[in-house]
Structure 1
Amino acid sequence: MKARTSHTARPQVKKFLVGTIGAAAAAGALAWGAVSGTGATSQTVAVAPVADEGPGYAVEDFAYPYADKILAEKNIVLKRGDGHITLVDCAGGTGYLEVWARDKSKLCFQVTGNSGWLTLEVPSVHLIKGNNYATKVDMTVGTEEKSFDIAKNAWTSVGETAESEGRPHVLVEIRSSK
């Protein structure tokens, strides 16, 4: 024999569904009234089109990160670059550009990518060892600007050691490419 089941649960489900749908309809009506300016509230809502406002732009200024900290610690001014020539610890590896200045120990720069550039100020630079990149450096002495091609994987005399007058030169830019 089949057992008879009670259908007392059905009216409760119907009551629940009717209550839920009624609450949703009331909430929808209130929301429509708030947006359209009609309804029980006396406040008006200002609506502006989103398309007129765009997201802000990210603008790269090419400023060298932590330049202030490096200036305070090493007394080197690192200005701007494209991120492909970076100051590194010389003990960290090989294949770096090595820059020697009269009043400092050597400075090392790692070059990555196909090309890179870095503007900086390192006084009294007299010797640079190249790496696998074709590198050119710009230096100033007084009001004069001079450029030097750095030999690949070899030492190149620059600045005061490259001229007969022996004036101290300031390294102001490094450009490298493969």
Structure 2
Amino acid sequence: MKNAIVRWLAIGAVAAATTVGAGALASADTTPAGDAATAPPAVEDFAYPGDSPNPQLKLIRGDGHIMLADCNTVTQIQLWSVAVPSPSGGPGVCFRVTGTTGYLSLELPQTFMIQTGDKAVRADLTSEGVAQTVDVAKNSYTTVGQAMGQKPTMLVELRVTG
């Protein structure tokens, strides 16, 4: 009889522990630490990472394949601008290209020349509200705006096309 009571007590203890454990698991909070209601969603907005070192150059957004670079290194896209002059007389703004295609929205006032490396580029510019698109073949350059005796142009978009 004493053994039967001990067995029933053991069975009851196991049943109680199982019930309490299951309840604790069912009520466990699976929300990560912090306030999940205020956590920002992880959505790519293609905003350009980091600021431009020159206040005249505004980098807006892109796909990450056209990145600002030091003009003293090998670069794919070189821009000449009255607003961002180079002390050496070369390009004032340079970019490296990390893919076969690329996109960058920017604002570079008074752009007058665009030069490419081994990737062709399509550039969108505006001048007094009038839009203009220029295709620059790889390993080439083109002059725009003031260099052609026209009004100053604002470079607003670059696309690597091949």
TM-score by length of 2: 0.72
Residue 16 of structure 1 corresponds to which residue in structure 2?
Answer: none
Whole-Å separation in 1 of the counterparts to 2:145 and 2:67 = 22
SS at match of 2:135: strand
Whole-Å separation in 2 of the counterparts to 1:34 and 1:161 = 75
Q: Is residue 60 from structure 1 mapped to residue 50 from structure 2 by the alignment?
A: no
Q: Is residue 31 from structure 1 mapped to residue 17 from structure 2 by the alignment?
A: no
Residue 67 of structure 2 corresponds to which residue in structure 1?
Answer: 86
TM-score by length of 1: 0.66
Change in 2 beyond 3 A, CA 1:35/1:143: closer
Change in 2 beyond 3 A, CA 1:90/1:46: closer
Residue 54 of structure 2 corresponds to which residue in structure 1?
Answer: 74
Residue 115 of structure 1 corresponds to which residue in structure 2?
Answer: 101
- Note the aligned Cα RMSD (angstroms): 3.0
Larger radius of gyration: 1
SS at match of 2:99: coil
Structure 2 residue aligned with 1:170, among 139, 154, 158? 154
Displacement, 1:133?
A: 1.1
Structure 1 residues without counterparts, runs of 5 or longer: 1-18, 37-44, 48-55
1:171 corresponds to which letter in structure 2?
L
Whole-Å separation in 1 of the counterparts to 2:24 and 2:74 = 68
Point out 4+ residue stretches in structure 1 off by more than 6 angstroms. 19-22, 33-36
Change in 2 beyond 3 A, CA 1:30/1:85: same
Displacement, 1:20?
A: 9.3
Contact 1:139 1:159 in 2 (8 A): no
Structure 2 residues without counterparts, runs of 5 or longer: 1-8, 30-39, 87-91
Q: Spell out, residue by residue over 1:120-177, the C-alpha distance to the aligned partner (whole angstroms, 9 max, x if none).
A: 0000000111111111101000110111111321231122213x3x311000000112
Whole-Å separation in 2 of the counterparts to 1:59 and 1:79 = 17
> Percent identity, aligned pairs only?
40
Displacement, 1:97?
A: 0.6
Contact 1:79 1:120 in 2 (8 A): yes
Whole-Å separation in 1 of the counterparts to 2:23 and 2:119 = 69
